[in-house]
Amino acid sequence: MEEKSYKEYLNHITTFIFDVDGVLTDGTVLVTTSGELLRSMGVKDGYALKCAVNAGYNVAIISAGTNEGVKLRLEGLGIKDVFLGAHDKIKQFETYIKTNNIKSENILYMGDDIADYPVMKIVGLPSCPQDAIPEIKGISKYISHKKGGEGAARDVIEQVLKVQGKWFI
């Protein structure tokens, strides 16, 4: 049986879920002398996340990280479902989809490392940045040509919104 092209899944996406480090950031953490951990997030990814929220999609973040600045940035984009400190991502994922009555086949999840693997195995469109680890690339139906923190999130959001006629509303 022939594998479906990832494009066949785009029309069915109602929900975007993203990891943070390595997906919305390049995975680099700058450590200040006071011990604060700083990350860099691309404004183009931010714009696309805001577009998805404004277009009525469910947008969630599931990350093991706990940086309050990351949370403030994402909430500032209108994302209400920001789950930080989620070391068991599958448990947080199951709670989220049950609470919001979302079917896993309607979810695009973008991750880049082993912690994302269990969730990516059960969503409709598992995807990853170009610089994800080989195990994640191996289960992804779509591998962005963009790296984490450098437009990978924008890439997938823009594709879904364009196919569904919701880009540039």
pTM: 0.95
> Per the annotation, does 116 bind a ligand?
no
Domains of the chain: 6-162 (3.40.50.1000)
Q: Residues near 5 by Cβ (< 8 Å), separated by ≥ 6?
A: none
Given pLDDT bands bounded at 50, 70 and 90, which one contains residue 5?
Answer: confident
> Per the annotation, does 45 bind a ligand?
no
pLDDT digits (tens, 9 = 90+) for 73-110: 999 999 999 999 999 999 999 999 999 999 999 999 99
> Per the annotation, does 19 bind a ligand?
yes
pLDDT digits (tens, 9 = 90+) for 147-156: 999 999 999 9
Q: Residues near 17 by Cβ (< 8 Å), separated by ≥ 6?
A: 59, 60, 61, 62, 93, 96, 107, 108, 109, 110, 119, 123
